[in-house]
A and B are shown apart, each in its own frame.
Chain A
């Protein structure tokens, strides 16, 4: 090999593309040629300096955290895809009723804000609801009626036809549950983020503890208003809480009801209404909710 030949293949050599025998041939030439050796040295130095100047950075911790938790979520979703479809229907049906109840609370002209939902849905305000949200079908039984009104023949899938459910709120939980969170991280970060985006006093619906882990939250639209959807894991099970503004609400005691394989419920205080859905049983769920739902 001579200098002319080497120059033609120098970059292949320098980039480490040569195999052992090709390298040996070049090395032999370099051993005898000061010029080419000086060039190789200079190129090596230049490349090393370039790398020194462009030191790699570490990916931000929150990025890693976000990716890990989204992978967890994807992984879990893959496992429970079958259970989901059944659940989603239940959630959809439940949120139809809950959304209706919320509308009642918001539009009910009563200045006394302690509005017991079980009564309002049954009585006149149902007309108010029907007028306010025309596409909401109000013939359905109230979810939180003390007498557990859902008749045995009550068909979930029938009540969840999209044509029946015009507004966003009616399908909110069912459809939003599958979307990834806007924000993940510790409670303070999540709360700050949601507070910066929503006009009502967002608060974390559950306190974090060893049993209660906040996965994340996202902003959703329900009945034309912005709401917050919080996703938790309680004892390893998913718990979703939809938080909406409800100006007239001062306190709604925690009510939970088992419906098929899921538990649905609501609670609220000081202008904020929460709808909660989970596969956890009522006793477990209420044990982690009680602290937050105590009367102010």
Chain B
């Protein structure tokens, strides 16, 4: 006898259609958050199961991808709560505190006076540069520049005001730019003098290279 689908069965179909289609996006996001494929798998799995359990709370018609990323971000933070001290976002001393509005700066996306150096960097180095960002900045840069979320959506995902999103995005991009340039200098793609951008402290590596080449 064929009986109609149960309530939970219908929910499962909806979940497949609305949530499971974002598995790849979540996995990519998780790779940047955890920086470890095994942990990323666990994080995505936890996220999806949690999402399924609470799927009745998801408002149909709203942005399901953003809802999933919000669950994932929370799960990741909770997973690492005890280990907070070991996490990179507290180790980084070269990051200014995320205060003030980015709009007060002469604020441009990624400043790159030298065209095309990024093009010559191998993708591992670029990934490394993103992964080296402190978690708070990394998350927001990934959400904005790789996952195409709007500021408002990011604010909801990471549960902070839009102003904070904007300032972290600004600082995250600036820092990423700096790391990318450092890699480019390391690889000889950019001249050592190129490190001297925006009067920011440069990496020790770049500094030594600059000294060695006698430009200082």
List 28 contacting pairs A-B, 8 Å CB cutoff, sorted by A: A7-B108, A8-B106, A9-B103, A10-B108, A11-B109, A15-B109, A43-B110, A49-B116, A49-B118, A50-B126, A50-B145, A53-B126, A54-B123, A55-B123, A56-B24, A59-B23, A60-B41, A63-B23, A63-B27, A63-B44, A67-B20, A67-B45, A68-B16, A70-B45, A70-B49, A71-B12, A74-B53, A75-B52
Among B118-138, those with CB < 8 Å from A are 118-119, 121, 123, 126-127, 130
Chain B residues with CB under 8 A of A50: 110, 118, 126, 145
Are A46 and B112 within 8 A (Cβ)?
yes
Asked if A53 and B107 make an inter-chain contact with CB atoms under 8 angstroms apart, the answer reads no
Asked if B191 is at the interface (CB within 8 A of a chain A CB), the reply is no
Q: Which of A15, A64, A75 touches B144 (beta carbons < 8 Å)?
A: A15
B interface, by DSSP: helix, strand, loop or mixed?
Answer: helix
Is B89 an interface residue, CB under 8 A from the partner?
A: no
Tell me, yes or no, whether B28 is within 8 Å of chain A by CB: yes
Q: Which residues of A sit under 8 angstroms from B25, Cβ to Cβ?
A: 56
Excluding A9-B103, A10-B109, 17 further A-B contacts by CB distance (< 8 Å) are A7-B106, A11-B170, A15-B109, A43-B109, A46-B118, A49-B118, A50-B110, A54-B127, A56-B24, A57-B31, A59-B24, A63-B23, A63-B41, A67-B23, A67-B48, A71-B48, A75-B9
B150 proximity list for chain A (CB < 8 A): 15-17
Residue positions of A touching B, CB distance < 8 A = 7-12, 14-17, 39, 42-43, 45-47, 49-51, 53-60, 63-64, 66-68, 70-72, 74-75, 78-79
A42 to B117, CA, bound (A): 12
Binding site for A on B (CB under 8 A): 6, 8-9, 11-12, 15-16, 20, 23-28, 31, 41, 44-45, 48-49, 52-53, 102-103, 106-110, 112, 115-116, 118-119, 121, 123, 126-127, 130, 144-146, 150-151, 166, 169-170
Q: Point out the residues of chain B lying under 8 angstroms from A67, CB to CB.
A: 20, 23, 44-45, 48-49
Residues of chain A within 8 A of B103, CB atoms compared: 8-9, 12
Closest 6 pairs (CB-CB, A-B)? A59-B27, A53-B126, A43-B109, A53-B123, A56-B28, A49-B118
* Distance A60 CA – B11 CA, assembled complex (angstroms): 25
